A = this chain, B = another copy of it.
Amino acid sequence: MQMLSSAPPSASTASALGRLLENLRLTPDELSILRELGWELRTARRRQPLVVEGAKLRLVYLVLDGFLIRYRILRDGQRQIVNVTIPGDFAGVPSCFFADSLYTVRALTDATVAALPLDRLVALFETHPRIPAKIFWSFSCESAIYAERLVVVSRRPALERIAHFLLELLTRLQRAGLADERSFKMPLRQHVIGDALGLSLAYVNRVLRQLADDGLVFIRGDRIIINNVDALSSLADFEHGYLRPMSMTEFSEATV
C-alpha cells in the first residue's frame, strides 16, 4: 500500500502485510495492484472509535498495528464485545455491508490502520477478480470464529470460556507473528475479557485467580503467559481448526 512506506516501520506493520500475503495467498502481482488502490493511512489513539454504531460505513480497514475491539452497548448498559481485531485482520466487516453500522469499533491500544473505500474493492471484481475474491473468501471464513465463540459462550462454564478465549488469541497472534510459543503482549483487562465472554468482572477475576493458582495462566501487566498450552487446551477443549480456513488458492489447487 502506497502510503505504507510513509508509515513508521514496525515489526507489527511488517507482520500485518506478511499475514495478508500468507493468509490470502496473494501473488506478488496481486499484492502490488492492491497496494495501488489508494489506501489511506489512519491512526487512532487508545479508546478512540473508528466506527460508530448506527453510522454509515463505506470503508474497510486493514489493521496494521495495534488492537481494536468491536462491540455493542445494550440498552441496559452492558457491553458485548463481538471481536478482538489484531494486526493483519480487516475491520469494519461486516458493518460496511449494511446501511448503518451494526457495531462500534474502537482502539484498544494506539493503532494504525489502512482504509479503503469498499466500492474500490468491489470494482476490482471487474478487472482483477481474483483479488477481491480472495478477500471475500476470507470474510466468509470469519463466520467460523463467531460460531465457535457462540458455542463456547453458550455452553461452557466460565473457566473453559476464558481458557478458550486466551488460546484463540494466542493462536491468532502466533500466526500474525505477535506471540511466541506460549505468551503474548496485549492489554487484556479483566473487564474486556468479561465483556467478550459475557461474564461479570468479579467472576472473571476469580476465575483468572484460579487459573493462576493452578499454574496455567499468568497475566503480568500487558503480557499474558500460558504456562502449559497443552493442559489449557485440554481443559478448554480447544481445537484450532476453526482458525485455519483453506485459502482460496489452496482450495483451488486441492480440487483441480
Q: A143 with B93: in contact, given A133-B125, A136-B133, A155-B74 (CB under 8 Å)? A: yes
Q: Mark A212-248, 1 if CB is under 8 A from B, else 0.
A: 0000000000000000000000000100011011101
Question: Which of A93, A97, A100, A255 counts the most B-chain CB atoms under 10 A from its CB?
Answer: A97
Q: Is B125's CB under 8 angstroms from A130's CB?
A: yes
Stretch at the interface among A21-29, A37-45, A144-152, A168-176: A144-152
Q: Is B154's CB under 8 angstroms from A246's CB?
A: no
Closest chain B CB from A154 CB (angstroms): 3
Q: Mark A116-144, 1 if CB is under 8 A from B, else 0.
A: 01110010011001101100110111111
Closest chain B CB from A179 CB (angstroms): 22
For residue A140, which residue of chain B has the nearest CB?
A: B139
Q: Is B246's CB under 8 angstroms from A98's CB?
A: yes
Q: Which of B102, B132, B136, B148 makes the CB contact (< 8 A) with A242?
A: B102
